[in-house]
A and B are shown apart, each in its own frame.
Chain A
């Protein structure tokens, strides 16, 4: 079997393996949400001001909320298996469309955050590890811990106050300039401009994790025999750090980045809220309080798939970093 065919088969295999997990998530959340008081109709009626019980019953029938639970679940699962995530009760739109709209901002924030957090974390961890127990090491550890321990929203608001209001460097919130509605490259730059503060805020939180991990990983790799071998060959310390140790030390970091993705989608609720970033986290948050069952289940489903997909990518990156791990 050729390499790419094997890889493709591996990807398919992983996706099929993920299927039961994703379905289990959907089913679990379906029942969890049933335990919540009130439904989408209550919320809609409550917002509308006032509605008669008859009207509400009609709405429930329209949403299928009057059916017995197992029937509702069966219908939902049947739809899911035909790639139909149903209609959002609240937005009167196909769930898939709502989620796909939010997918790009979510991915933007997620990818830029991971890149920034991992990039800086690796750098700081590396600097700390090479200067073990010096002031540099201590300062980096403390810095990382402080950024981790400061409540996210506080960091977010402070960044807005300093960089948006006082310095005027970045917009306070949102994803685009709504007076200009740029197009083409200008739009890309505009979005990047809006992305800066949320990314910094969110990655500050994860920075500590990667810094710490990278430092420990570097130290561990530093003690390995192959480093001695490299020295015995007369290789320079520089090359030992950047070629020999770094690549090995990155492995646990890559693994962790994969594990973190799930947390990141959820963990960004606060950042999305503070920066009015139109991501999946806020959508889920709103869907929960609107009891928009279809939408929430859809988000859980797609974010689970997203996590699975990212993990897959991480695995492939991992296997390219570590020849011992074979994809296939």
Chain B
């Protein structure tokens, strides 16, 4: 752990990303302290430019505080990103582990299923799922997870496929260990690194998908998120640039930070790259 941190900290870009991410997390956690009121509340003069009428980042067409929205939206956007990723990783790990470990017909079946999900145009499929389940934060999370898991499944399958023939796994067979225990206790811990890396990047993608869905009018109308702000502000882009630009920058920074951290994790966890840098 210690050496991992040392390797990670050597990467200045990753540290920078971690710092931004930390700020965003703090912002999400303290949103209710700095902006105690509902971020939807009509706080004052509408379409105030940044810095005027007491709005740090301006206000939108209904006079809602953009800054309050960004602070509260951070919570939602990160939550959507994290939960969707967790669900996707869970599905992906189960599918990939079973396919990679058992091989043969199980592998065939599960991988055909995975292929099927990869063959469907994923964003259209996400839209379809949200439309069917009605736009709400839950349906958005589910839709993002459903279109994201195949990548995890493929990765995990590959790892399991190579690890299951490793001698230490065979050694477990020779002492009569059960399959579930081998998969969970022996193999899985050894492919955590790539899962963590792909997971971290998926959080970023999930946030982007959420904003894309919101752009098309498929956000949850009751919850403040960056996607909502960007979607709601996009027609104002030419008249009140700040309404959609600041949340857009929030998304950009978060996605950027997560990617930098993800790459840092990759460098720190992936021994092959480690040797060369």
Contacts and interface: CB of A to CB of B under 8 A. Distances in A.
Interface of A: 20-22, 24-25, 28-29, 32-33, 35-36, 132-133, 138, 141-142, 145-146, 148-154, 157, 161, 212, 216, 219-220, 222-223, 259, 262-267, 269-270, 273, 280-281, 284-285, 288-289, 296, 299-300, 303-304, 307-308
A138 B13 contact: yes
A267 B122 contact: yes
Contacts of A266: 120-126
Interface string B205-243: 000100110011000000000000010001001100000
A162 B86 CA distance: 40
A219 B256 CA distance: 22
B123 A36 contact: no
27 contacts: A21-B115, A21-B119, A25-B119, A29-B120, A32-B129, A141-B13, A149-B252, A149-B259, A151-B211, A151-B230, A151-B252, A152-B212, A154-B237, A157-B237, A161-B238, A219-B276, A223-B272, A223-B275, A264-B121, A265-B121, A267-B122, A267-B123, A269-B123, A273-B216, A284-B124, A300-B121, A308-B119
Contacts of A262: 118-122
Given A154-B244, A266-B123, A223 B276 contact: yes
* Those 10 A-B pairs whose CB atoms lie nearest each other, nearest first: A266-B121, A149-B255, A266-B123, A266-B124, A265-B121, A149-B252, A36-B132, A304-B119, A284-B124, A307-B119
B255 A285 contact: no
Interface in B234-264: 234, 237-238, 244-245, 248, 251-256, 259-260, 263
A284 B276 contact: no
Contact of A219 (B234, B260, B273): B273
B124 A269 contact: yes
Contacts of B234: 153-154, 157
B217 to A, nearest CB: 10
B205 to A, nearest CB: 9
A88 B273 CA distance: 53
Nearest to B133: A35
Contacts of A285: 124, 127, 216
Nearest to B115: A21
B124 A220 contact: no
Given A32-B129, A154-B244, A161-B238, 12 more contacts: A149-B252, A151-B215, A154-B248, A223-B272, A264-B121, A267-B121, A267-B122, A269-B127, A273-B216, A284-B121, A289-B131, A303-B120
A25 B120 contact: yes
B276 A149 contact: no
B187 interface: no
A149 B208 contact: yes
Contacts of B116: 21, 24-25, 28
B128 interface: yes
Contacts of B166: none
Given A32-B128, A133-B277, A288-B127, A151 B248 contact: yes
B82 interface: no
A150 B252 contact: yes
B163 interface: no
B181 interface: no
Interface string B127-151: 1110110000000000000000000
B121 A263 contact: yes
B38 to A, nearest CB: 25
B274 to A, nearest CB: 11
Interface string B261-273: 0010000000011
Given A149-B208, A151-B208, A36 B131 contact: yes
Interface string B54-93: 0000000000000000000000000000000000000000
A284 B123 CA distance: 11
B112 interface: yes
A123 B263 CA distance: 20
Most buried by A among B131, B238, B260: B131
B255 to A, nearest CB: 4
A151 B128 contact: no
A328 to B, nearest CB: 20
B146 to A, nearest CB: 11
A161 B238 CA distance: 9
A146 to B, nearest CB: 7
Nearest to B259: A145
B195 interface: no
A223 B276 CA distance: 8
A8 to B, nearest CB: 23
A128 to B, nearest CB: 12
B204 interface: yes
Nearest to B134: A37
Contacts of B126: 266
Contacts of A35: 132
Contacts of B125: 266
Nearest to B217: A289
A149 B127 contact: no
Contacts of B248: 150-151, 154
B192 to A, nearest CB: 19
Contact of A151 (B122, B124, B212, B275): B212
